Amino acid sequence: MIQSTCNICSLACNMDFYVEDNEITKVVPSKNYPVNKGFSCIKGLMLGKQQTVYKTSPLPKLRDEYGEMVELSWEGMYDYLAAELLRIKEQHGGDSIAGISTGQMPLEEMALFSHVMRNFLRGHVDGNTRLCMATSVVAYKQSFGFDAPPYTLNDIELSDTIFLIGANPIVAHPILWDRIRQNKNKKLIVIDPRRSETAEKADFHYAIKGKSDIFLFYGLANLLIERDAIDKNYIEEHTENFEEFKNLVKDYTSEVVCEKTGLSKNDLDNMVDLIANGENVSFWWTMGINQSYEGVRAAQSIINLALMTGNIGRAGTGPNSITGQSNAMGSRAFSNTAGLYGGGDYDNPSRRKAVCDALEITDDQLIDKPTLPYNAIIEKINAGEIKALWVVSTNPRHSWANNETFQEAIKKLELFIVQDLYDDTDTSIEAGVFLPVVSGLKKTGTYINTERRLSAMRPVLKKEEHEKSDYEVFLGVGKALGMGNLLDLWETPKDAFELMKKCSKNMPCDITGVTYEALEGTPGIQWPFKEGMILEADERRLFEDDQYYTPSKKAKFMFSTPAENPLPTSKEFPYILNTGRDTVGQWHTQIRSREITLAEDSYPKEAYIYINPKLAKKFNIEDNEKFEVYSINGHKSQFAAKYSESVTENQLYAPIHYIETNTLTPSVYDPFSKEPSFKTTPVSISKI
Ligand SMILES: Nc1nc2c(c(=O)[nH]1)N[C@H]1C(S)=C(S)[C@@H](COP(=O)(O)OP(=O)(O)OC[C@H]3O[C@@H](n4cnc5c(=O)[nH]c(N)nc54)[C@H](O)[C@@H]3O)O[C@H]1N2
Ligand SMILES: Nc1nc2c(c(=O)[nH]1)N[C@H]1C(S)=C(S)[C@@H](COP(=O)(O)OP(=O)(O)OC[C@H]3O[C@@H](n4cnc5c(=O)[nH]c(N)nc54)[C@H](O)[C@@H]3O)O[C@H]1N2
Ligand code: SF4
Ligand SMILES: [Mo]
């Protein structure tokens, strides 16, 4: 039996794989693993299917002059890619090369990819984590001094009052939902403009207007202050900027907040009661907050509430951002993209020195600036400035906001490399170079889940002839590029892990005490875990000592006057298109969903959209009838109508699992995090 990590959602459950003759005979959720404790969702149970449902040849392919994809040897491909990348760098500079990576790869692979692409080629690498977690990263960093989700998953079982804000764990984090169910004495409050599956099960569901959360939380802060239901001691001892915050929120009277959110005064008072009377109040948010033209300040409006009521650093509390992909946290700390390996800024001399020493390189061999964000990469391709793009383990032709802009970008590239398990994704089929790799079942690496827990991915099956892992491909290209002794310390994933440990030394995410062996067949280990530390429990939360990572060791209230919605509804576009997940068995762009064969028959193959029957009837649209949705971004898509009372008469909800959805989303981003505003697009509809 081999215990390994489910590399799908951010819980990163562990599973026990039983194998005979290089075939998986049984997959069982690991009982000893503190995240899933012997349970899993259907996606984990079906992990054994990876790369069996649709097979891709293990040899790399190059598009020839007739547009056909022809196979090459791996060595031939490495040489070809090295020559092309060096030519483009020579002609246009390192800034003309970019990569898009993912929160779905082990941290060792991300680290090596960026070593090759950024430290050596001097290019840009951003991740699909930008579409997902970037808002939380910036929010925590500004408020706490480091990107540090403070909780352990156990906190959701220990909380007496749980706020879920823009999060739908019944669908998106089933094991987390299981743990909420285990908590019998809680009050569950869901804030979501639509009646999601989770809202359906809550004690209180507040259907606020899309993107009005910041008004709600400023209003609640104001009411809590007026009621004197705040923790003055905590504020005084452990925070900064409270007086300024208090001054700002006094303008958010109940009248203003009711108008902005669509809630009643009663609703607000009830929420204030719930927060004031709770002993251990926890606030959990996901994409309903992060994906917005104003995500960072909205996330911080939640963080502020937790700080001012002293709901942090104790059991069952916290302002807790739930991540999405299996290794979003690894990507946040160890990808050398927006921050240095192990955290810290590129212009911080002492951090640079520490990272250079750890990697045994000189300062000029370490990239000198953060990457361009995803949106800027796509814009610069379209402007003709970026000439080469390497996409790894993500499907941006489908998942990128306003996805026709990605299609346009592809046409402008001189070199377009796609590295994926499958050659038939919406992105792979456009590639000039396709690099096939093996799934997580055949590779080694480390994942960091939503509660900062490191866990091991270990090969369950042996690779077959010509099969490569992502790590081997990056190493092969790096060697062909002539990186020479810059790769001496990077021969294996374990070597890369040792380097990352050294980079993390004395940082909040210090993992110097973790070894590969200590992660194998064990409960995993949360960061921080410094060399010499003794593990007393499987679950640890941050800030129990009230020491934050800012220079003053205090947390900061961060806020500003809410921005105007850059894309309000209008006469021409009167309805709001909301987007997100739909069922447990549907995963993002549905590439991996087809591996989940047990769920496949439970959802339609073609795009559909939830519409309130009253709105549908206004346009004479029957249930299941195809109709057209026009977006303010200038594009239109067709969907089958799915009648549902879960959306109000002025909303529609489109699952992200169909490419038609992101045809309609706009190129609008949060100013700090550059995360796309995926969830509130003004649209109009018509019968066909
Ligand atoms: N089955 C399945 N599970 C998944 C995934 C998957 O594709 N399929 N993806 C994984 C990933 S990467 C992620 S990031 C997570 C995402 O997990 P979630 O964020 O929980 O999922 P979403 O459906 O994107 O959005 C959650 C809710 O936000 C609400 N919302 C929209 N706008 C607003 C708003 O303005 N305010 C508030 N308060 N709420 C709003 C939506 O109505 C929706 O119900 O799921 C992970 N888990
Ligand atoms: N409108 C709208 N759009 C959204 C969202 C939304 O809520 N609304 N959510 C956004 C969010 S939060 C996210 S995270 C993104 C997700 O969007 P994507 O990352 O584009 O979606 P996936 O379908 O997970 O694509 C992962 C790809 O990686 C491949 N893969 C799997 N394992 C490996 C591996 O080991 N190596 C390699 N090289 N490839 C592998 C799979 O075959 C698949 O093609 O979508 C975003 N887009
Ligand atoms: S809950 Fe997430 S990590 Fe756990 S089995 Fe399901 S997809 Fe995998
Ligand atoms: Mo995500």
The CATH number assigned to the domain holding 251 equals 3.40.228.10
The mean pLDDT value of the chain amounts to 97
Q: Residue 473: pLDDT above 90?
A: yes
| Cα separation, 671 vs 292, whole angstroms | 10
Tally of CA atoms within 13 A in the half-sphere of 559 that contains its CB: 27
Residue whose CA is at the smallest distance from ligand 3 atom 2 = 9
Do 175 and 293 lie in a common domain?
yes
- Binding site membership of 286 for ligand 2 (Cβ less than 6 Å): no
pLDDT tier for residue 602 given thresholds of 50, 70 and 90: confident
For residue 528, give Cα distances in angstroms to 276, 437, 452. Answer: 32, 32, 8
Q: Is 570 inside any structural domain? A: no
Q: Is 24 inside any structural domain? A: no
| Cα separation, 108 vs 654, whole angstroms | 35
Per-residue pLDDT tens for 93-121?
999 999 999 999 999 999 999 999 999 99
| Residues flanking ion ligand 4, Cβ below 5 Å | 132, 324
| Owner of token pair 């917005």 | 292
pLDDT tier for residue 453 given thresholds of 50, 70 and 90: very high
- Binding site membership of 556 for ligand 2 (Cβ less than 6 Å): no
Q: What burial class does residue 67 get, using C-beta atoms within 10 Å of its C-beta: 0-12 exposed, 13-18 middle, 19+ buried?
A: exposed
Which pLDDT does position 497 carry in this prediction? 98
Do 340 and 313 lie in a common domain?
no
- Binding site membership of 501 for ligand 1 (Cβ less than 6 Å): no
Which pLDDT does position 219 carry in this prediction? 98
pLDDT tier for residue 145 given thresholds of 50, 70 and 90: very high
Q: Is 137 inside any structural domain? A: no
Do 372 and 521 lie in a common domain?
yes
Residue whose CA is at the smallest distance from ligand 2 atom 24 = 588
The full DSSP string for 147-186 is ------TTHHHH-SEEEEES--HHHH-HHHHHHHHH-TT-
Residue 250: how many other CB atoms lie within 10 Å: 13
Which pLDDT does position 131 carry in this prediction? 97
Do 304 and 361 lie in a common domain?
no
Residue whose CA is at the smallest distance from ligand 2 atom 33 = 393
- Binding site membership of 419 for ligand 2 (Cβ less than 6 Å): yes
| Cα separation, 324 vs 329, whole angstroms | 9
Under the phi-then-psi rule, with left for phi > 0, alpha for psi from -120 to 50, and beta for the rest, what region is 506? left
Per-residue pLDDT tens for 230-262?
999 999 999 999 999 999 999 999 999 999 999
Closest atom of ligand 1 to 133 CA is 14
pLDDT tier for residue 19 given thresholds of 50, 70 and 90: very high
| Cα separation, 629 vs 614, whole angstroms | 16
Do 371 and 451 lie in a common domain?
yes
Question: What separation in Å is there between the alpha carbon of 289 and the centre of ligand 4?
Answer: 12
E runs forming strands in 288-382:
318-321
Please count the structural domains in the chain. 3
Per-residue pLDDT tens for 193-206?
999 999 999 999 99
Mean of the pLDDT values across residues 407-420?
Answer: 98
Count of all residues that appear for the chain in the document: 688
Tally of CA atoms within 13 A in the half-sphere of 376 that contains its CB: 13
Which pLDDT does position 626 carry in this prediction? 98
Q: Quick one: tokens of 224?
A: 């809590």
- Binding site membership of 421 for ligand 2 (Cβ less than 6 Å): yes
Residue whose CA is at the smallest distance from ligand 1 atom 12 = 324
Do 306 and 330 lie in a common domain?
no
Residues with CB under 6 A from ligand 3: 6, 8-9, 11-13, 36, 40-41, 43-44, 174-175
Residue whose CA is at the smallest distance from ligand 2 atom 10 = 131
What is the best residue among 5, 7, 11 to mutate for testing ligand 3's pocket, by most ligand atoms within 8 Å of CB? 11
Question: What separation in Å is there between the alpha carbon of 31 and the centre of ligand 3?
Answer: 14
Residue whose CA is at the smallest distance from ligand 3 atom 4 = 13
Cβ proximity of 304 and 217 under 8 Å: yes
Q: Quick one: tokens of 312?
A: 């942090």
| Owner of token pair 């004690």 | 203
Q: Quick one: tokens of 323?
A: 């991540």
For residue 272, the enclosing domain spans 150-322
Nearest to 294 by CA among 677, 665, 679, 579: 677
Boundary-marking domain end, from 275, 295, 322: 322
Cβ proximity of 95 and 123 under 8 Å: yes
Backbone angles phi, psi at 25, to 5 degrees: -100, -25
Question: What separation in Å is there between the alpha carbon of 590 and the centre of ligand 2?
Answer: 9
Do 463 and 390 lie in a common domain?
yes
Query: End-to-end distance of the chain based on CA atoms, in angstroms?
Result: 55
Percent of the chain with pLDDT over 90: 97
Do 377 and 521 lie in a common domain?
yes
Question: What separation in Å is there between the alpha carbon of 675 and the centre of ligand 3?
Answer: 24
Mean of the pLDDT values across residues 1-13?
Answer: 97
Per-residue pLDDT tens for 257-303?
999 999 999 999 999 999 999 999 999 999 999 999 999 999 999 99
- Binding site membership of 580 for ligand 2 (Cβ less than 6 Å): yes
Secondary structure (3-state) at 580: strand
Q: Is 36 inside any structural domain? A: no
Do 264 and 175 lie in a common domain?
yes
The enclosing domain of 106 has a CATH number of: 3.40.50.740
